[in-house]
Chains A and B, each alone.
Chain A
Amino acid sequence: MNALLYTKRKKMDAALITGDIGGQIVHSASIENWLGIPEIASSGLVNNFFAHVDAFGAPIKKETTVLSLHGEGPVKKLDCSDGNTYGAKTLIIATGKNPRKLGVPGEEALTGRGVAYCTTCDGPAFKGKHVVVVGGGNSGVEAALDLLSYASRLTVVQNLEDLTADGVLCDKLKHNPAVEVFYNSVCVEVVGQGSVEGLKIKSTTNNLEHLIPCDGVFVEIGLIPASSFAPSSIKNPGGEIVVDAACATGLPGVFAAGDVTTVPFKQVVIAAGEGAKAALSAHAYLLNLPQ
């Protein structure tokens, strides 16, 4: 959104194509590190962003995802989920990241039927239930602590020998009697007919399998760049779009910003700053195009 703001301030003819408004931010409850605002509800911050940008009147195509990008040639083209192909002289990719999936049998079929990726959305559906959280990093442990306000029993599955979240969070979790943690364990299968009935895990130390009967499985094993539409020539092996200090990609006229790129540290303030930079780079690119 900040990229759009900067393009409009440069009086460029710009449009936004997006699946949603706010992206990853809306999956957190609040933001506590936006300079000048000690704490704000994530939705509030997003609404402020959107109102600021929307006032410029640029066309905003919501609920639309990009399926493929054709960045060669003077007009860059995007094939989109609404069935249309959109073209522009310059593009900024700011698609962020999506939750990483387990990639085990049963996961896809039972998504929305017990397999979940968003604690603030789906947590309340598990009141008094037994829930498993997969992942022992910050997002996993934070999700587990969130879920404790609903779930009566909680199990954490971690692939390493200890939790890797911040110490304060780990302490809170470990001291809760409703919580059990399986270390050195990976997921093998989500089990259930029509809805989740259990999660099969395997120990990485002795290869023994174990079935945890449960009602829900929350997957919190990090994020992957939302870049499947982009050609592999502009991505690193992890799927991040490779950018230079000016947010330029390997394709002239195609810029990228924020969490989808190789820029280190994924933070709201960094992504917003990168968006501004990409917009200014796109503006400079247009000015320098041969007439």
Chain B
Amino acid sequence: MPVFDENTSKQLSAILAGMINPVKFVFFKGDNAKSEEAENFLTEFAAFNPKLSLETIPHVEGSPEAALWNTWAAPAVWVTTADKSLKGVGFYGTPGGYEINSFLMSILEVSGKKEPLSPEFKKVVDAVSEETEIRVYIALTCPQCPAVVINAHRLAVENPKIRSVMVEGAAFKEECDKSGIKAFPHLVIGDKKAEVIGENGKDMNKIISALASI
């Protein structure tokens, strides 16, 4: 059975018609059911617009590819430009459910359709000089979550030192338990250097303050 019904496919294609430049999905596929699910999702999704393409890499921990993309688990998908120079906009798990919104937004943004950050925000984001991973733990059933993922991805598009990833809580339960995640959305900067919990992350001011505090 297809992941997307006819009506949804039409709607998604219509939104993706707003893409400017080609966008590639670099997909790290693991040996697990979640990876199969994500692959089906991405394969169908990539067919919605000729500017989209999918490249699948078998995920091997510690492999050169995994290291190049800083990928720590599978399934993971990176939304990148045709030349694969952008390596900071990612999703661990499947960007389905409500996260279809953040997935669409990341594609449009990476394709070149982006709004500029305000100068004050840009100053803080540009000042990040060390590699920093921002994780946004989410539930696919959470209507509040995509806004936070979108905010985090905007920062990654702005500064190549920043890597922003959605982490699907249900698919990475151990990771959640290890990090003490008890709410969705929950944004963590670096190794718990700073965090923004709940709907607070919908407010870019709060993420920027957290980023400035590290």
On A, residues with C-beta under 8 Å from B are 20, 22, 26-27, 29, 42-43, 63, 111-114, 116, 118, 120-127, 194-196, 215-216
Q: Within 8 Å of chain A (Cβ to Cβ): is B77?
A: no
* A124–B198 touching, CB < 8 Å: no
- Are B169 and A113 in contact, CB atoms less than 8 angstroms apart? no
CB within 8 A of B182: which of A27, A63, A118, A195? A195
Evaluate whether A121 and B202 lie within 8 angstroms (CB atoms) in the complex, with A43-B98, A112-B182, A195-B182 already known.
Answer: no
Do residues B139 and A127 form an inter-chain contact, with CB atoms below 8 A?
no
Across-interface contacts of B20 in A (CB, < 8 A): none
Chain B interface mostly: loop
Residue of A63, A114, A215, A216 with highest tally of chain B CB at under 10 A: A63
- Once the chains are docked, how many angstroms separate the CA of A127 from the CA of B171? 11
Knowing A20-B202, A122-B139, A125-B139, the reply to whether A113 touches B180 (Cβ < 8 A) is yes
* Contact digits for B143-181, partner A, Cβ 8 Å, 1 yes 0 no: 111010000000000000000000001100100100011
Closest-by-CB residue of A relative to B183 is: A112
Can you show 9 pairs from A to B with CB atoms below 8 A apart?
A: A43-B98, A111-B198, A113-B182, A118-B142, A121-B185, A124-B141, A125-B181, A125-B182, A216-B182
Chain A residue with the shortest CB-CB distance to B173: A127
What 19 additional pairs, Cβ within 8 angstroms, besides A20-B199, A63-B203? A20-B202, A26-B143, A42-B143, A63-B147, A111-B183, A112-B186, A113-B180, A113-B197, A120-B139, A120-B142, A121-B142, A121-B143, A121-B145, A122-B183, A124-B142, A124-B169, A124-B170, A125-B169, A194-B180
B residues 181-203 touching A (CB-CB < 8 Å): 181-186, 197-199, 202-203
- Please give the distance in Å from A61's CB to the nearest CB on chain B: 13
Cβ A125 vs Cβ B184 within 8 A? yes
Docked Cα-Cα span, A220 to B181, in Å, equals 21
Which single residue of chain A is at the shortest CB-CB distance from B182?
Answer: A114
Q: Is the CB of A112 within 8 A of B197?
A: yes
Across the interface, which residues of A come within 8 angstroms of B185, CB to CB?
Answer: 121
> Smallest distance from the beta carbon of A66 to chain B beta carbons, Å?
15
Most chain A CB atoms below 10 A, which of B143, B144, B169:
B143
Q: How many angstroms between the C-alpha atoms of A43 and B100 in the bound complex? A: 12
The chain B residue sitting closest to A196, CB to CB, is B182
Give Cα distance in the complex from A216 to B203, angstroms. Answer: 25
Specify the chain A residue showing the minimal Cβ separation from B170: A124
CA distance A233 to B198 in the complex (A): 33
Q: Chain B residues near A124 (CB, 8 Å)?
A: 139-142, 169-170, 184
A127 touching B141, Cβ below 8 Å: no
Which of A20, A116, A120 contacts B183 (CB under 8 A)?
Answer: A116
A125 contacts which of B176, B202, B203 (Cβ < 8 Å)? B176
Alpha-carbon separation in the docked complex, A112 to B147 (Å): 17
The residue in chain A whose Cβ has the minimal distance to the Cβ of B11 is A47
Instruction: Judge whether A118 and B170 touch: CB under 8 Å.
Output: no
A111, A112, A120, most chain B CB atoms within 10 A: A112
Q: Which residues of A contact B184 (CB under 8 A)?
A: 121-122, 124-125
B168 to chain A, nearest CB (A): 9
Residue pair A125, B183 in contact (C-beta under 8 Å): yes
Specify which of A22, A42, A116, A195 is in contact with B180 (CB 8 Å cutoff): A195
Chain B residues within an 8 Å CB radius of A215: 182
Measured in the bound complex, the distance between the Cα atoms of B206 and A112 in whole Å is 15
The answer to whether B141 and A123 touch across the interface, beta carbons within 8 angstroms, is: yes
Chain B CB within 10 A, most for which of A116, A122, A126 = A122
Residues of B within 8 A of A43 (CB): 98, 143
Distance of A29 Cα from B198 Cα, bound (Å): 19
Closest to B143 in A: A26
In the complex, residue of chain A having the shortest beta-carbon distance to the beta carbon of B203 = A63
Complex interface: chain A residues within 8 A of B197 (CB) = 111-113
Are the CB atoms of B182 and A122 closer together than 8 Å? Answer: yes
Could you tell me the distance between the alpha carbons of A2 and B98 in the complex, rounded to whole angstroms? Answer: 24
A127 vs B98: C-alpha distance when bound (angstroms): 19
Q: Taking CB as reference atom, which chain A residue is nearest B137? A: A125
